[in-house]
């Protein structure tokens, strides 16, 4: 009865969300080609490839999770050189990142809908699966139950559970506690995450703390800075520019950063502002927000075809570069002098990953709403390695202080780098625990 109710509610929720999903598919692009995969419909060539060898299935929702998944897969190949993978994702941006990184032998697919008939169809077509590895808090009851019924081990890596999310899961404990008990192993980011996961029904004997894998995802080779520097030059940025970068910004934050830039730029003539919206398709909205503050938006997508601003007399202190592309943020973080990390100051809350700029030793400031990174923020704050501004006025004060004191901002960045370097190793530990579990699996818990 429990699962009948879940499936009815899921169907209703899917029906209500479908118009919004179709609108997003039209607006963002990238979803349409793989829409049939959401229902477990694959091309014959894909089906053949899925069945040609035993694979691990790894699922990552979006950009941050896919970076963790790719790092996990690399570690798994060290432990099991014959390992092959299916990687599923939920967003076009994650797809593009994964597509560039995956070896030819692996398979990239869209994550299927959590309907019983879909999950059964998918598992039939996947052939032999060594294990299902989910990231962070991807708990899909029908998929997990279907895997368990086929004796496919299920692991949750880099698991996190904020207090707000835990409160929601507790209300639905009747659905999710039995699902959590089906997991063979849960590797939590922190002791607080572990306690919350146990509090919503996970088996204490199957939940361990491994640390945040995002620190390991930041251990990749540094990006090629050349294209980013060339982009900044085309936008009219001189070699001695002080770059103030707003990374992964959301609605409202572009306006706040532009207002701050206007307030301080006259005292710091070498300062330039670059905005990287979280979603590239927000280019028109971001450009409108910049223009409404009296500044001039310059879209990165136009710099490849327009006359480079550095070679024209049109480049001015009023220009704000909007990077409406994907895959360039990491290199731009490396070029920045001051970094604001978004989804932390505006209407949207939860925050974005501060480890990415920290690995390059950058001084980082966020707004107060970093709920999705509570433990990571606690580690950075304990080391005095990050600044948190309660509002736009405090954010402006912080920026001005760093502009006035270069040694202070450099020291702040070095502390941030030290936090990242001290906490690497979670992924190696996670893979070791999973391999040990695969060698001696525990008994399944029925639901």
Same domain (yes/no): 8, 44 = yes
Reference 257, options 289, 302, 296; nearest CA is 289
Residue 211 falls inside a structural domain? yes
Using DSSP's 3-state secondary structure scheme, residue 293 falls into coil
Task: Note whether 200 and 180 are within 8 A (CB).
Answer: yes
Radius of gyration of the chain (CA): 23
Which pairing describes strands 154-159 and 129-135: parallel, antiparallel, or unpaired? parallel
Tell me the residue range of the domain where 283 lies: 226-422
pLDDT at 311: 43
Same domain (yes/no): 66, 86 = yes
Task: Note whether 155 and 437 are within 8 A (CB).
Answer: yes
Residue 305 falls inside a structural domain? yes
pLDDT at 361: 96
pLDDT at 31: 55
Same domain (yes/no): 180, 248 = no
pLDDT, tens digit, 9 for 90 and up, residues 395-425:
999 999 999 999 999 999 999 999 999 988 8
* Residue 155 φ then ψ, to 5°: -125, 145
pLDDT at 305: 56
Same domain (yes/no): 108, 238 = no
DSSP 320: E
H-helix or E-strand containing 401?
helix 392-404
H-helix or E-strand containing 365?
strand 364-366
- Output the domain CATH number for residue 195: 3.40.50.11720
- CA-to-CA dists, residue 8 to 12, 145, 146, angstroms: 6, 17, 17
How many Å apart are CA 264 and CA 72, to the nearest integer? 43
pLDDT at 24: 64
pLDDT at 312: 44
Same domain (yes/no): 360, 431 = no
H-helix or E-strand containing 109?
strand 107-110
pLDDT at 29: 57
Spell out a b/e string for 348-373, using b for 16 or more CB atoms within 10 Å of the CB, else e. Answer: bbebbbbbbbbbbbbbbbbbebbbbb
Same domain (yes/no): 111, 250 = no
The total of other beta-carbon atoms located within 10 Å of residue 378's CB is 13
How many Å apart are CA 271 and CA 396, to the nearest integer? 14
Same domain (yes/no): 401, 380 = yes
Tokens at residue 19, please?
Answer: 């118009």
Same domain (yes/no): 9, 99 = yes
Residue 300 falls inside a structural domain? yes
Residue 36 falls inside a structural domain? yes
Residue 446 falls inside a structural domain? no
pLDDT at 383: 97
Residue 447 falls inside a structural domain? no
Contacts of 378 (CB under 8 A, 6+ apart): none
Regions of the chain with pLDDT less than 70: 18, 21-33, 217-222, 305-315, 441-447
Number of folded domains that form the chain:
2
Same domain (yes/no): 121, 241 = no
Same domain (yes/no): 396, 433 = no
Residue 266 falls inside a structural domain? yes
Same domain (yes/no): 51, 200 = yes
- Output the domain CATH number for residue 310: 3.40.50.2000
Task: Note whether 258 and 287 are within 8 A (CB).
Answer: no
pTM: 0.78
Same domain (yes/no): 387, 348 = yes
Residue 128 falls inside a structural domain? yes
């Amino acid at each position: 009865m429990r699962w009948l109710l879940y499936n009815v509610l899921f169907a209703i929720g899917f029906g209500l969300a479908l118009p919004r999903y179709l609108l997003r598919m039209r607006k963002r692009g990238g979803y349409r080609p793989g829409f049939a995969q959401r229902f477990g419909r694959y091309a014959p060539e894909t089906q053949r490839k899925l069945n040609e060898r035993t694979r691990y299935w790894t699922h990552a929702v979006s950009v941050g999770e896919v970076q963790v998944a790719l790092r996990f897969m690399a570690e798994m190949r060290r432990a099991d050189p014959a390992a092959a993978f299916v990687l599923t994702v939920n967003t076009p941006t994650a797809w593009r990142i994964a597509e560039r990184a995956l070896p030819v032998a692996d398979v990239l697919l869209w994550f299927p809908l959590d309907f019983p008939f879909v999950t059964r169809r998918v598992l039939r077509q996947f052939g032999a699966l060594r294990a299902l590895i989910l990231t962070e808090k991807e708990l899909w009851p029908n998929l997990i139950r279907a895997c368990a019924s086929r004796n496919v081990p299920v692991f949750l890596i880099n698991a996190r559970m904020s207090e707000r999310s835990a409160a929601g899961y507790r209300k639905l404990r009747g659905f999710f506690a039995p699902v959590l008990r089906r997991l063979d192993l849960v590797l939590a980011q922190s002791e607080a995450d572990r306690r919350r996961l146990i509090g919503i029904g996970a088996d204490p004997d199957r939940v361990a703390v491994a640390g945040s894998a995002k620190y390991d995802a930041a251990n990749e080779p540094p990006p090629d800075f050349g294209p980013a520097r060339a982009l900044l030059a085309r936008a009219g940025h001189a070699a001695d520019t002080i770059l103030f970068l707003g990374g992964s910004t959301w609605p409202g934050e572009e306006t706040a950063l532009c207002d701050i830039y206007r307030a301080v730029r006259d005292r710091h003539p070498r300062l330039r502002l670059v905005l990287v919206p979280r979603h590239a398709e927000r280019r028109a909205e971001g450009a409108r927000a910049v223009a409404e503050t009296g500044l001039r938006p310059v879209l990165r997508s136009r710099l490849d075809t327009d006359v480079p601003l550095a070679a024209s007399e049109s480049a001015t202190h009023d220009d704000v570069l909007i990077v409406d592309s994907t895959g360039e943020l990491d290199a731009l973080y490396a070029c920045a002098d001051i970094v604001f990390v978004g989804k932390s100051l505006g209407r949207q809350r939860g925050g974005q990953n501060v480890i990415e700029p920290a690995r390059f030793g950058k001084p980082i400031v966020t707004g107060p709403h970093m709920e999705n990174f509570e433990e990571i923020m606690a580690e950075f704050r304990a080391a005095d390695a990050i600044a948190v501004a309660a509002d736009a006025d405090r954010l402006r004060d912080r920026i001005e202080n760093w502009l006035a004191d270069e040694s202070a901002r450099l020291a702040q960045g070095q502390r941030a780098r030290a936090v990242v370097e001290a906490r690497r190793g979670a992924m190696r530990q996670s893979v070791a625990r999973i391999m040990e579990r695969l060698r001696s699996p525990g008994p399944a818990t029925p639901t």
